[in-house]
Structure 1
Amino acid sequence: MNVNDQVNAALLLMDFQNGVVERLGTPQTLAAAADALAAARAAGVPVIHVRVGFRPGYPEVSPANQSFSAIATSGADLSEGGPATQVHADLAPADGETVVVKRRVSAFTGSDLEVVLRAQGVRTLVLGGIATSGVVLSTLREAADRDYRLVVLADACADADPEVHRVLTEKVFPRQAEVTTVARWTAAS
């Protein structure tokens, strides 16, 4: 599927926030996401930036949640307004672009993403994000269960474990999504 052929589609750039990009991002992934962002804007495809953030004191974080409870007790500032949770400057939202704040791994959980998508009539989600085994996997699975058509931009995704990224993009994701590169997605038809 080509960016110019996408009707009722939106580009979701997920967890490209300062704290995540510093730990897991690569220059190549950031450049690919920036290329996807530019192409979506040029084609008039809506862009939705998704980031994770919490209220002060982390009232949304259960001690039973192994990942998030470790973050909440680490001393890191993952509050909604903190610098670590802001969208990276290379992918800064333009005026009118939606920023969704989520409270868990999936872009849907604890956010108003579904309301935004319904309001805009979006039926196809084009996904890029960090980490492939985190936000991308969780969002893809939930979106598939909600009957969205899915495209994953493999080179606009990154994971701490390159083998996990490879297995997901080559073996797991193709069962529920078209997996492509930013260059193929942005190519003129």
Structure 2
Amino acid sequence: MAGTALLVMDIQNGIVGRFGEDSGYLPHLRRAIDAARAADLPVIFVRVGFRENYPEVSSRNKAFAAVAQYGGFTADALEIAPEVAPEPGEIVVTKRRVSAFTGSDLDVVLRAADVDTLVLTGISTSGVVLSTLRQAADLDFGITVLSDGCLDQDEEVHRVLVEKVFPRQADVITIDTWIEKL
């Protein structure tokens, strides 16, 4: 699996807290992270964040204008959830929009590491995972989505994306299946 990296996207305190600790998601995701590390695959963490006073946020951006108005995605909300925190030396990319590529140096990091295949996980399926998948496909990356490594507030939206939309541009498998292939 040379040339493959696991992206762990938007698993930060300001987002994870919306789902409650009982979801079982973080320990499950941790299995994928541990497996990638054991296979010597890069694990790259992506988070959304802004500077103080939100100079990156346009009033025309409906989603992020609301964040800027009420405050969020600064300070503690930027921190990756401790249950899946990066190890020393692992890359953390800060993005300024929904896609992991937009407003970040992710593409430069991936190209410098000769990564041509991405394994996507994150919160939310209908947000960062969808946007990153679409942009990664346009950038000619090979893509795998770990269906149970993604989480969304709307279970039906998650189901439609992983069963009907994502397979058009990515391989969609479970964490267990991916680990077996490593």
The answer to whether the superposition gives a TM-score over 0.5 is yes
Misfit runs of 4+, over 6 Å? none
- Aligned equivalent of 1:124, options 98, 111, 117: 117
1:15 aligns with 2:2: no
TM-score with structure 1 length normalisation?
Answer: 0.93
TM-score of the aligned structures, taking structure 2 as reference length: 0.96
Greater RCO, 1 or 2 (C-alpha within 8 Å, sep 6+): 1
Deviations 1:85-135 (A, max 9, x none): 110001110011000000000000000000000000000000000000000
- In structure 1, runs of 5+ residues without a counterpart are 1-5
CA distance in 1, matches of 2:40, 2:25: 22
Deviation at 1:33, TM superposition (A): 1.2
Tell me the distance in 1 between the aligned counterparts of 2:13 and 2:73. 10
What is the aligned partner in structure 2 of residue 53 from structure 1? 49
8 Å CA contact 1:12, 1:48 repeated in 2: yes
Which residue does 2:36 correspond to in 1? 40
Aligned length: 181
Residue of structure 2 in register with 1:155 after alignment? 148
Contact 1:24 1:130 in 2 (8 A): no
RMSD across aligned C-alpha pairs, in angstroms? 1.2
d(CA) in 2 for partners of 1:21, 1:159: 11
Deviation at 1:30, TM superposition (A): 1.4
2:26 match: 30
Aligned partners of 1:173 and 1:58: how far apart in 2?
32
Seen in structure 2, the aligned counterparts of structure 1 residues 111 and 188 have a Cα distance that, compared at 3 Å, is closer
